[in-house]
Amino acid sequence: MFDFSGTLLRVEPTEEWLAAALAETGTPRVEEEFGETVRRLTEYGALPGGVSPRHLPAHLETLWGRRDISAEEHRAAYGGLTHAAGITDPRLAQALYDRHMTPAAWRPYPDTEPTLRELRRRGLPVAVVSNIGWDLRPIFRAHGLDELVDAYVLSFELGTQKPDPEIFRTACERLGLAPADVLMVGDDRRADGGAAALGCPVHFVDHLPVDRRPAGLTPLLDRLGSA
């Protein structure tokens, strides 16, 4: 089982995210304001898949904790953070949210495809288990990874999120394996570590920019043994 964001793929930097949304809406980029807007968006954690909020408005605390339960709550949580960061133009706010769901906004880690292909060669099934509020399958298709995934277990479709053991149990069932035989790979000690309660072994990777983690997944192949 693999987590998605920060494990197999990483979202683009906030600067690129904002620049793409400005271009999409035809909003002029004012250099004196651009850097400050990036700073505020980062402070409020408004980019899904990016850093967590350093400042979470009190009125969003409950919604933030449930953001991956449904598509509506996910959109509302991140829309609230974007607004708190000072984005008041509804067209730009919509473009920012829409942008993060596009394949162009996501980059696989350098060893993602080689690792998944080697697991497929060995006959080991793979599930992607993600706390997310939207369908990530098009991202995997666009990056040529979909054929290497046997099952997707997404929180917004299941109505529960990691670390709830139910999401990991569902993934094991879809793979047709006992939890003790399924390794969970993720970057979040709390969320992904929840698989241990079900009896799954767990392996953690660092949620780093793509160019700073060239081989975070490669050690898995040694841990899993050879075919």
Token pair of 143 as six digits = 């990056």
Q: What is the pLDDT of residues 15-65, one digit of tens each?
A: 999 999 999 999 999 999 999 999 999 999 999 999 999 999 999 999 999
What is the CA 216 to chain-centroid distance, rounded? 16
The CA distance from 131 to 69, in Å, is 8
Question: What count of other Cβ atoms lies within 10 Å of the Cβ of residue 204?
Answer: 16
Whether 6 maps to a domain, the answer reads: no
> pLDDT band at 226, cuts 50/70/90?
low
The CA distance from 130 to 201, in Å, is 17
- The answer to whether residues 169 and 197 touch, using CB atoms and an 8 Å cutoff, is no
Q: Do both 70 and 173 map to the same domain?
A: no
Q: What is the pLDDT of residues 40-53, one digit of tens each?
A: 999 999 999 999 99
Of 104, 119, 152, the residue at which a domain comes to its end is 104
Q: Do both 31 and 67 map to the same domain?
A: yes
Whether 39 maps to a domain, the answer reads: yes
Q: Do both 211 and 113 map to the same domain?
A: yes
Q: Do both 100 and 112 map to the same domain?
A: no
Q: Is 155 exposed, middle or buried, given 0-12, 13-18 or 19+ CB atoms closer than 10 A?
A: buried
Whether 135 maps to a domain, the answer reads: yes
pLDDT of residue 227: 43
Whether 3 maps to a domain, the answer reads: no
Of 36, 70, 104, the residue at which a domain comes to its end is 104
Structure pTM?
Answer: 0.95
Burial 163-200 (b: 16+ CB within 10 A, else e): bbbebbbbbbebbebebeebbbbbbbeebbbbbeebeb
Whether 4 maps to a domain, the answer reads: no
Q: Do both 77 and 152 map to the same domain?
A: no
Whether 202 maps to a domain, the answer reads: yes
Cross-strand pairs, 186: 204
Q: Do both 95 and 114 map to the same domain?
A: no
Q: What is the pLDDT of residues 113-158, one digit of tens each?
A: 999 999 999 999 999 999 999 999 999 999 999 999 999 999 999 9
pLDDT of residue 201: 97
Q: What is the CATH number of the domain that holds 113?
A: 3.40.50.1000
Q: Do both 99 and 128 map to the same domain?
A: no
Name the domain count of the chain: 2
Whether 2 maps to a domain, the answer reads: no
Q: Do both 179 and 215 map to the same domain?
A: yes
Q: What is the pLDDT of residues 97-107, one digit of tens each?
A: 999 999 999 99
Q: Do both 84 and 171 map to the same domain?
A: no
- Evaluate if residue 200 carries a pLDDT over 80: yes
Token pair of 164 as six digits = 């709830």
Q: Do both 180 and 136 map to the same domain?
A: yes
Cross-strand pairs, 152: 128
Q: What is the mean pLDDT of residues 184-205?
A: 97
Q: Do both 174 and 190 map to the same domain?
A: yes
Quickly list DSSP for the chain. -B-SBTTTEEEPPHHHHHHHHHHHHT----HHHHHHHHHHHHHTT-STTSPPPSS--GGGHHHHHTTTS-HHHHHHHHHHHHHHTT---HHHHHHHHHHTTSGGGEEE-TTHHHHHHHHHHTT---EEEE--SS--HHHHHHTT-GGG-SEEEEHHHHT--TTSHHHHHHHHHHHT--GGG--EEES-TTTGGGGGGGT--EEE-----GGG-TTSSTHHHHHH---
pLDDT of residue 225: 67
Whether 208 maps to a domain, the answer reads: yes
- Evaluate if residue 177 carries a pLDDT over 90: yes
Structural domain for 87, as ranges: 11-104
- Whole-number percent of the chain with pLDDT over 90: 97
Q: Do both 34 and 133 map to the same domain?
A: no
Q: What is the mean pLDDT of residues 148-172?
A: 98
Q: What is the pLDDT of residues 66-91, one digit of tens each?
A: 999 999 999 999 999 999 999 999 99
